[in-house]
Amino acid sequence: MQLTKAEEQLMHYLWQLEKAYMKDLLEAFTEPKPATTTVATLLKRMTDKGFIGYNEFGKSREYFPLVKKEDYSKKEVSGFIKDFFNNSSSQFASFFTKETNMTASELEELKKIIDNELLKKRK
């Protein structure tokens, strides 16, 4: 199941805060801030989708992520590669390195990451 763009933005705030009440989440937004009812609706949908949970303290709810940011990112990137690059990581890497105007130092850093991964795979 996926998050909408609005849900994803709210989820990023919750990952940053780790635990938050609605007032904390509202404060995290830049101006113009969404309506309280909008955030409440997003939180309900995200709870129903299994992305967040909450603890109740009287009439207040403290929300927390049930999905790790890394796990969500992996799933989203995998889906992106599948949908746009015929499930080919090498096609994605080629596009990414050519079309994002990476600097020589960024390419060197990427090369180091790739070289380290190659060493791990060969062991």
- CATH class of the structural domain 5-65: mainly alpha
Work out the number of other CB atoms within 10 angstroms of the CB of residue 102. Answer: 14
User: Where do the structural domains in the chain lie, given as residue ranges?
Assistant: 5-65, 85-122
Could you report the per-residue pLDDT of 71-111, keeping only the tens digit for each?
998 888 888 888 888 888 888 888 888 888 888 999 999 88
pTM: 0.76
Beta strand extents in 23-85 (DSSP E only): 52-57, 60-65
Could you report the per-residue pLDDT of 10-23, keeping only the tens digit for each?
999 999 999 999 99
Residue with tokens 């599948």: 82
